[in-house]
Structure 1
Amino acid sequence: MFTNIFRKKAAEAALAAGPSAQYDLHGIVFTSPAGITAEWLAEPYSFGSAADLGSRLAQIHAEGFGEQRVGEFVLPWADVYSLLRHPEFSAYRTALGIPAESSARPRILSRGAMMDADFTVLVEDWVEVSGRPMRPAPKLTGRVLQAHDTAMLVPESVHELLSELAHFHATQAAERTLAFKEQAFGRIRKLALASGCPVSDYVARTIVLTPDRLRMSLDRRGEGDTRLIEVIPGFEDAPAGWIQQFDRLPLQDSYNVPDGPALVRVVITPEVKAVLAEVKRMPGRRVAGARAEAFARNPFALLGESAHNVLDPAEFEEALEAAGIRLETFQPHIERGPAGEVQRVGLLIEAHGAASVDSEIAWFEAPAELERFTDKLDRCIEDGSQCVTWSGHELEIVGHSPDHLAQLRVSLREWRCPRLWTATEVLDLGNYSDRISGIGVETSFVVPVIARNDEGQGWFPDNVTLGFRVDDPEAPSPRSIVPITFGEIPSLRQSVDVAAAAGLPDVRLPGLEAAVPIADARRAVEALERAQVDLLRREFNPGNGGKPEDARTRLVIKRNLEEVDYTEQRAEALAMPPGRAPVVPLSMRSGIALKPHQQVGVAWLQHLWQESPTRCRGTVLADDMGLGKTLQLLTFIVSCFEAEPELPPALVVAPVALLENWRNELARFFEPGTLPLLLLYGDTLRELRVSRQELDEDLKHQGITRLLKKNWVGESRLVLTTYETMRDLEFAMASQPWSVMVCDEAQKIKNPAALVTRSAKKQKVRFRVACTGTPVENTLADLWCLFDFVQPGMLGALSHFSRTYRQPIEAKTPEQVGRVEELRKIIEPQILHRLKTDVVRDLPAAVEDEACKALPMSPYQHRLYEGALNALREQRDTNPSAQLQALQAIRKICSDPHGHAERETRSLPVQRLVNESPKLGWLVHHLKSLAADRDEDHKVIVFCEFRELQLVLQRVTAAFFGFAPSIVNGDTSADPRASENRQQLIDAFQRKPGFNVIILSPLAVGFGVNIQAANHVVHFTRTWNPAKEDQATARAHRIGQTRMVHVYYPGVVSEQFPSFDVRLDQLLSSKRKLATDILNGCSDLKAADFADFG
């Protein structure tokens, strides 16, 4: 029967697998609907009903499965089984016509004895799981059994058995030697038993093992020169007495090995015999000393050429690892500073295990330890050793090891003589700005304490304890903490305000023994107020405030809080002469032309620079968003260096997201090499930090360890860094002279008590620029702080300034109005504030859509809104926190009713989401109209701050438009070296031709993001601050925009209830109008603004 099966022609054995496929001896044959199979696979959707099959075959063919032939695609049986093991393609089984697996097995029997010339092994019949023969007898076509009109695929183990039988029968009788028959019988018997096939008595009783692979077990004893390794050869199913027979007898072609009552015949193939011969040459199967090291490093060299075919390298590595032998290589790893000095030395060690290569850097603790290692390595190389042991590692000695030794010795000599930072250098006040009064712990100040009662729970009011902590190193109790409640915050605010109004320098807060400076107390109370609001919104971030600042040794600054401790003179007349033209740098790229307002801005900066340092020390650049402040500043800085090449470097401090924008703008507008650049953050910062070995003991004792390498600036002319780096490395940063210092997004330094503010004011700079579109966010103290950085002393001490000046909106009396105008005149020469609408004539207008602000609520939304509004009314007379929570619920219902009411929104049908959320329904309808207008290539930014709602927007867009828009949040990487960073996502959005949508968080685009390709901006959720909304809109409506930008603020309304969206829009619009005067500022809305809502 078996002989007949394998002698059938493929054509005769063909069995239909489906309308376009057949099974034959070789595999599954798919008939192509195209004359050329490649055309079918390349364009499957051009072939109607064959499209799905063609697309699947194209995918598997791309992975190396199957063969293309004229008019057909063949999937060999070996590929069929490989596909079924594939984690992704196994799901293609039904689509490719691969039958289910059969439980039937062939019964194997033999005829004659192996000594007989006509000995054979064949399939007698097929049996069911029960062992009964299948009747009628099934038909085998390739690897498919046909029985009872059902096609079933034999298991892969049976496929291997049938392939071995086919090989046996394809071998001519004259070539079937005894050795061939023994080896073939052994393989067939093994496969039959492994696949659960019934066998005849002769096959069952005749045990012939024909190992074609060996497994080596190793037993290691001793270390170094006394190491000994015993080699134990084995193989799969080796009988228990195998190794004893191998040791007792000379090398044989075959062995009869007792295995209990049975006798197992082991037939050795020529290649296996060659490897066993090498093992026989080892006395007692053992290698020792240097030979053991050589064997562990390269066993194949000792076991002969055949070892590569007989031993599995992965298995041998497992054996090495099991014996505690790992191949470890090494090479020197030397960290150097910018001046080339050795920072530390280590070994990069790679441990080659069975499944992986593990690497680590083993650092030498000191030069003395490195010297001991180099001496030992030298001895081992001289002795011809294969490895050197060190700190538990066995490091292989190879051809490059002498070179590595020489490199380590050179590094040792350099490391022994490091250039230490000394306390004499670091603590010398002559290295710092005149504004530094000393070095030590800064004077007494009060900080808020905001702590969780249960660290395992979140940040919410009931789980938080509040308090004040006074840090005074001279006090008997330097860290006294006074607990307070949320209800006491208003009285604390009143105490501070009363003391400030009375002109007192200090205030005694309830519960504190000592008075504290007004500015510090105000900062602490404001931090608690912000924390209260954020906690109720569930938006509290412990990194935003409330953390006690370290009382570390720092540079102590003259703060100008209660009196003017430090001042820099400013000339009375600083006005720029009319018609002054800017000096355009020669290194600006050809074809780049400054716009008229940018020319004015550069000329103004250059004018003030020429007045520095004796008549002017800096400026506030407060241009509106989108006017090209970065280009103006770069042009100014480059012109300074072209005029004075020996100037100290310039410094730009900015949020990390903006630093890459500075880098890109420099490359875009100026020739390469114009300003050699140092990016002082990320990997570069880590490389420039000093180790403790580069500090003298005095610095370590004082805790001054955050320093940079000497000459860390190198040849750089422009340094870009973050506010946090400037704060943490103030000794290194403040001792470096700077020509120009730019604080971009200078809102970061508007708090006089913040460490970043103080660190900015400690820098030794000729000319300072505070760059911000909102110089006043909350109070005029913001403006004072910026000018205390730019021109210290010009606005006097903060306490006097706060008593003297009011914001225009607060100025009620003629005297107060006069003071406002007085302030304008004082700052006017050193502040430049221009709006897009005033200076950019060719910028298309931004058009606000009014119709979408009054979308009728859905019945579903109406019910939710009514319940939340009733809750707000009930809580009106209770505490502010309950009121704020109700407002937050109302706000969410307006934009995301399902997110408020449903536990899980992912399973809700898309159509229900759209029908029950008016804003979502409006968005889909509007996007459809934009997508249909193919000539305009509309691109839409949808701003939404809630993450779950962002996912809903993405899902709905994908359902209606066939693509999932990217989502960019604040935690998306700003570094272009990351794979999916923010700029890459935005660039992909802008590059895609035609209609496109992107979903952004307004918090992710606070700065440094330009999206001029967008001509529609949808604020799906509103922020609490119009300045933040305008900043978001300005990502599209900015210089370079050639199209009209349409802005949408969708909102919902009800005829029965007051609309929260309408009220929010009115409040934001009112604040937006007031903010046109930069002295008014633009603070966040508060719960009190909704006191009469509802």
Structure 2
Amino acid sequence: MSLMDIFRSLIGERDGALSTQQGFQSQPDSNGLNFYLPLPAFKALQAGQGSALEKIQLIVLNMLVEQGIAENTANGFHIGAEDIAGMDLEQAEILRLPRRLPGRFLTSISGRTGNSGFRVAITLEMPDGPASFSRKGPYLYLTSSECYWLTPAEIMGLQAWELHESLGPEQRGEAANLRLMAELQTAARSGMRIDLSHFERLDVVVPQNIGVIATRLPDGSLQLCPSLGDGSSADQLEKRWSQLDMTADGGVLRIDNRVLLLDQARMDGIRNVLANKRIPADQVNEFIATPTAFLDAALVNLEVGFSARVAGIGKLQHMDFGVLDATKNDWFALDKRPAPAAILSKLIQSPEDLQRFEEVLQAANEQGATSLSFAGEVIDISDAPTVQQELARARQNMAHVSDSEPHSEEGVLPGEDKEKVGVILKDADEINSALLRKAAAATPLVVPDWSAYAREPFPHQREGIEWMLKLMGAALQDETDDLYRLQGGLLADDMGLGKTYMSLVAVGEYLASQRAADKPQKPVLVVAPLSLLENWEDEVGKTFASIPFRDVVVLQSGRSLRDYRVKGAERESVQLASMIDNSSGMLDEQSIRYALHVGPEAGVHRLDMDRRLVLTTYQTLRDYQFSLCRIDWGMVIFDEAQNIKNPNALQTIAAKGLKADFKLLATGTPVENSLGDFWCLMHTVQPGLLGGWESFRDTWIKPILAASDEERDEVRARLGEQLRRAVGIFMLRRVKEDQLKGLPAKTILSGVEQADHGLQRYAAQLGVVMKGIQLQAYDEVLDSYRARRASAEDMRGTALAALTQLRSISLHPRLENESALYSEDGKQARQLMIESGKLEVLLQLLDEISSKREKVILFMMTKRLQRVLKFWLDQIYDLNVAVINGDTQAVATRAEDMTRKKLIAEFEAKSGFNILIMSPVAAGVGLTVIGANHVVHLERHWNPAKEAQASDRVYRIGQTKPVFIHLPAVTHPQFDSFDVHLDRLLRGKLMLKDAVVTPEAVSESEMMQSMGL
């Protein structure tokens, strides 16, 4: 059922007009969309009075305010046009947005791009014919009442067109005309359905900067040619300089099917290179050593400096990690619920299969059995005619098999091999045994002057800082200029030990030592999840008595990214695929289009200023990797470094390619998936320490896979200990329980009977057997899956879809029918909640916590559950429960923004009992909520490391009450339920935990393997 169907009972049928039905009214303006109620009704709704629809709409709108998307108005909310355009379907349905535009746009282009008469007329073609239109904010109007919801691409294209239409004739020069076509092309590539006529075959490019292509001539001299970064060769460009008026402030250059728009700065760069076109043979060495003696670095890009680890830029190759660990679980109780006879046509593929099955069938019939086991399946044979019918079908299938039928290569699907472009790394496959000796023998960088800091460290933090400074000293003293230079370390301290504070002290000491040695105080980069950028900003002020940085730049959308981004530049991760030289697989350095202002040619606008602290995210690192890899950083810190555990991810490759005096990886979960991810982290921070992947896999992974089930835990523990010794000083790992003796007790209670492990204990009151409509819905999914297995070819997709249903039903049997779950009062809310065994357990638990006047965090990922649970709990306990999920804004862009930290502060400020709903994804890192001492994982995360991170938001320095982590589970009366299987799979990951290995998410491939698929 779609959300449109779900909410139809609430909002009634729609015809595309602005609704006047019950609920928030909406009205577009030029900037976006206003949602409003009459002021008395709005105030009453905020006080808890109003219809169910108004209340759920208020929840959604308040969540959008928390994300920084919506703004409060006197009697409602305002959301910008671009945010409305990009809104997800669930929110759109709840807020009653009109449907998407079903038509497409047609263009009529008249005049030449070089003259002021150039014009693009856009018309709309609807399914029933042409229609005139007008735009207001995020809506396209056909009449005063018929409107449609635009996509981001449609708004982008229409805004560019409207701007061009508003220009006077004197402003419609060739550059403005071509810029319009470039923006319409971008909109079309982003999904706008628009016919651009012959311009679809024309690529309009805006060069980022001017570089130099140098060609050695037979007499030893060099011929210089400006490079425009579009992949054009020197020969192509030489033939086309005559198109330009070299005295003009701008120009247009046509090369094949590309049109390049050149502004004054680019023209100045071209003129500078062409004025110094030939370098005599006797001056070539001088030119190579000091190009600025010949060319103006303010006009021409002369600095392309990557680290010793970067070979260049090209197409990335996927690294196959293979199977690392998996066990088989019977998620769908197939052993206890025989498959229907229809599955026989899939199991019997040869005459030998048929003969063997008939023998087994005869023996089973003689014994009077109603089922038998064949080819790993238990099959229902109680209906003899159906069995014979399926056998006949199997014989018929075999008769139609042709040996000449073409087959594709095993495991290769058409179009599956998608190319990615990124920095290409040089191999660091050999183990360099000198690394450990050099690091151990080094002396610490400096002894910190603690008067420069706002507070002195705890003893364990002092130890951690000394460890960093010793490694940093070793790195700065190592003059090796290759892959195996001493580069950094992995701070793998448990959560809550102060990794941010220790890292900032290390940065302060790095800058102080550089200043004392009269060396450059290079910029410092911190890469962290978006949710932690605000925390890093706050910690700077709390750490230093006198801040040592020139300034702090948050390189993120909505903050300072726009100040350093080259105007009109695409993200670097998407702009270069067509420019790779197929013979070498690499991109010529002069053709790289940098999207950020870096290097001396950027002047005062350059990002890489000395003593600057740059805070950014892993996504920004991925999108602007060439610019960021070009900068010579002093220190690079990767916070929550498990984000670069995947060697095939662009952000991991970019992280390895960054150039720095010292790299520090910080994570409380040093390995998130078997030992392969630990190799990736160490390969990032110190190449050569553990060698290449293949030798690492043979040494550390294969012995675990080869061990028997009885031996595997012992083998894991032994290899983990050996691996810890192998990395030596390059990793510091401390756990909270050993370091913070003053913390209260932490107890983990689970409703799964077999769950006793480590700190985790079985608590019978947290487990409940499903019944009623929940049991009925659960069994219907199992029966449906069993039936589909007989005929479905794509069992992977079928299994994942069924698992999703089982997970949802385990939360609440009617969760998909959201509109039926909104109650009128607290009594009805309780009745709706106890339809789910798990939510019945939750109610009992919340009543107990409420009686103690304590606080609790409820963790879940499903937004639909977050919404309805907030709705119910507000009614039952007379609260205003805050929801912090993956969409909640992490960084404030306005003073009034409700960020995660502000919501948590309000939650903790309320005296006595209070509830906070959080997503483990949003809360897994960087947030402290010590006002709560209860955590309930209502919906468990696939990643036990993220679950532990989320739990430990309450178990940190400052917590004074005993902490309880509750894991409620709903079980099946006959066989293991979804919750039981998930707990078993996650505990299998937890078996890897020792000083090195911490568990990771259950991947989709592992899920499939655990089902035997």
Q: Tell whether the 8 Å contact from 1:569 to 1:616 is kept in structure 2 after alignment.
A: no
Match of 1:918 among 837, 841, 864: 837
Matches within 5 A, 1:676-715: 676-682=551-557, 683-691=559-567, 702=591, 704-709=593-598, 710=602, 711-715=606-610
Match of 1:752 in 2: 647
Moved more, 850-859 or 609-618: 850-859
Match of 2:314 among 435, 438, 441: 441
Matches within 5 A, 1:935-974: 938-974=854-890
- In structure 2, give the amino acid aligned to 1:910: A
Q: What count of residue pairs does the alignment treat as equivalent?
A: 603
Match of 2:808 among 877, 892, 902: 892
SS at match of 2:815: helix
- What is the root-mean-square deviation in Å for CA atoms of aligned residues? 4.6
Q: Measure the CA separation in 1 of the matches of 2:904 and 2:438.
A: 46
Match of 2:397 in 1: none
Shift of 1:605: 0.5
Segments of structure 2 that go 5 or more residues without pairing to the other structure are 1-36, 45-162, 177-248, 251-262, 274-290, 292-296, 322-406, 479-484, 573-578, 580-586, 750-762
- In structure 2, give the amino acid aligned to 1:862: L
Q: Do the aligned partners of residues 443 and 902 (structure 1) sit closer, same or farther apart at CA in structure 2, a change above 3 Å counting?
A: closer
Q: Tell whether the 8 Å contact from 1:432 to 1:734 is kept in structure 2 after alignment.
A: yes
Shift of 1:1034: 1.2
Q: Measure the CA separation in 2 of the matches of 1:437 and 1:994.
A: 59
Q: Does 1:621 align with 2:491?
A: yes
Moved more, 989-998 or 845-854: 845-854
Match of 1:717 among 609, 612, 631: 612
Q: Tell whether the 8 Å contact from 2:446 to 2:509 is kept in structure 1 after alignment.
A: no
Moved more, 698-707 or 956-965: 698-707
- In structure 1, give the amino acid aligned to 2:668: G
Matches within 5 A, 1:534-553: 548-551=418-421
Q: Measure the CA separation in 2 of the matches of 1:795 and 1:429.
A: 33
Matches within 5 A, 1:499-648: 548-551=418-421, 555-560=423-428, 563=429, 570-572=435-437, 574-575=439-440, 583=448, 585-589=450-454, 592-613=455-476, 614=478, 616-645=486-515, 646-648=520-522
Match of 2:848 in 1: 929
Shift of 1:944: 1.2
Matches within 5 A, 1:436-515: 436-438=310-312, 440-442=313-315
Shift of 1:955: 1.5
Match of 2:732 in 1: 832
Q: Measure the CA separation in 2 of the matches of 1:363 and 1:733.
A: 40
Q: Measure the CA separation in 2 of the matches of 1:361 and 1:995.
A: 64
SS at match of 1:433: coil
SS at match of 1:997: strand
Shift of 1:924: 2.5
Match of 1:800 in 2: 695
Q: Do the aligned partners of residues 550 and 360 (structure 1) sit closer, same or farther apart at CA in structure 2, a change above 3 Å counting?
A: farther
Q: Tell whether the 8 Å contact from 2:493 to 2:668 is kept in structure 1 after alignment.
A: yes
- In structure 1, give the amino acid aligned to 2:805: A
Q: Tell whether the 8 Å contact from 1:1075 to 1:1082 is kept in structure 2 after alignment.
A: no
Q: Does 1:1067 align with 2:932?
A: no
- In structure 1, give the amino acid aligned to 2:855: K
What is the TM-score of this pair, normalised by structure 2?
0.53
Shift of 1:1020: 0.9
Q: Do the aligned partners of residues 883 and 805 (structure 1) sit closer, same or farther apart at CA in structure 2, a change above 3 Å counting?
A: same
SS at match of 2:468: helix
Shift of 1:806: 1.6
Match of 2:47 in 1: none
Q: Do the aligned partners of residues 550 and 1022 (structure 1) sit closer, same or farther apart at CA in structure 2, a change above 3 Å counting?
A: closer
Matches within 5 A, 1:112-261: none
Q: Measure the CA separation in 2 of the matches of 1:824 and 1:648.
A: 33
Shift of 1:834: 1.6
* Deviations 1:961-1018, CA, capped at 9 Å, x for gaps: 1123011110111112352332222221122222211111111112222211111101
Q: Measure the CA separation in 2 of the matches of 1:939 and 1:792.
A: 46
Q: Do the aligned partners of residues 1030 and 693 (structure 1) sit closer, same or farther apart at CA in structure 2, a change above 3 Å counting?
A: closer
Q: Measure the CA separation in 1 of the matches of 2:639 and 2:42.
A: 55
Q: Do the aligned partners of residues 1045 and 612 (structure 1) sit closer, same or farther apart at CA in structure 2, a change above 3 Å counting?
A: same
Shift of 1:747: 2.2
- In structure 2, give the amino acid aligned to 1:848: I
What is the TM-score of this pair, normalised by structure 1?
0.49
Shift of 1:1022: 1.3
SS at match of 1:624: coil
* Deviations 1:343-378, CA, capped at 9 Å, x for gaps: xxxxxxxx9xxxxxxx99999899999xxxxxxxxx
- In structure 2, give the amino acid aligned to 1:988: E
Shift of 1:1092: 9.6
Shift of 1:1052: 2.1
Q: Tell whether the 8 Å contact from 2:525 to 2:613 is kept in structure 1 after alignment.
A: yes
* Deviations 1:198-226, CA, capped at 9 Å, x for gaps: xxxxxxxxxxxxxxxxxxxxxxxxxxxxx
Shift of 1:954: 0.8
Q: Measure the CA separation in 2 of the matches of 1:511 and 1:922.
A: 52
* Deviations 1:1018-1057, CA, capped at 9 Å, x for gaps: 1111122221211110111122222211111111235444
Q: Measure the CA separation in 1 of the matches of 2:40 and 2:716.
A: 78
Q: Measure the CA separation in 1 of the matches of 2:706 and 2:640.
A: 28
Q: Measure the CA separation in 2 of the matches of 1:804 and 1:656.
A: 36
Q: Do the aligned partners of residues 574 and 700 (structure 1) sit closer, same or farther apart at CA in structure 2, a change above 3 Å counting?
A: closer
Q: Tell whether the 8 Å contact from 1:806 to 1:816 is kept in structure 2 after alignment.
A: no
* Deviations 1:297-344, CA, capped at 9 Å, x for gaps: xxxxxxxxxxxxxxxxxxxxxxxxxxxxxxxxxxxxxxxxxxxxxxxx
Match of 1:867 among 746, 770, 780: 780
Matches within 5 A, 1:291-370: none
Matches within 5 A, 1:68-83: none
Shift of 1:824: 3.0
Shift of 1:618: 0.5
Between the two structures, name the one with larger relative contact order (CA 8 Å, sep ≥ 6): 2
Match of 1:732 in 2: 627
Q: Does 1:784 align with 2:679?
A: yes
Q: Do the aligned partners of residues 817 and 916 (structure 1) sit closer, same or farther apart at CA in structure 2, a change above 3 Å counting?
A: closer
Q: Does 1:1031 align with 2:944?
A: no
- In structure 1, give the amino acid aligned to 2:634: S
- In structure 1, give the amino acid aligned to 2:773: Y
Q: Measure the CA separation in 2 of the matches of 1:361 and 1:661.
A: 48
Q: Measure the CA separation in 2 of the matches of 1:1092 and 1:754.
A: 27
Match of 1:667 in 2: 541
Q: Tell whether the 8 Å contact from 1:965 to 1:999 is kept in structure 2 after alignment.
A: yes
Q: Measure the CA separation in 2 of the matches of 1:649 and 1:984.
A: 30
Q: Measure the CA separation in 1 of the matches of 2:168 and 2:541.
A: 36
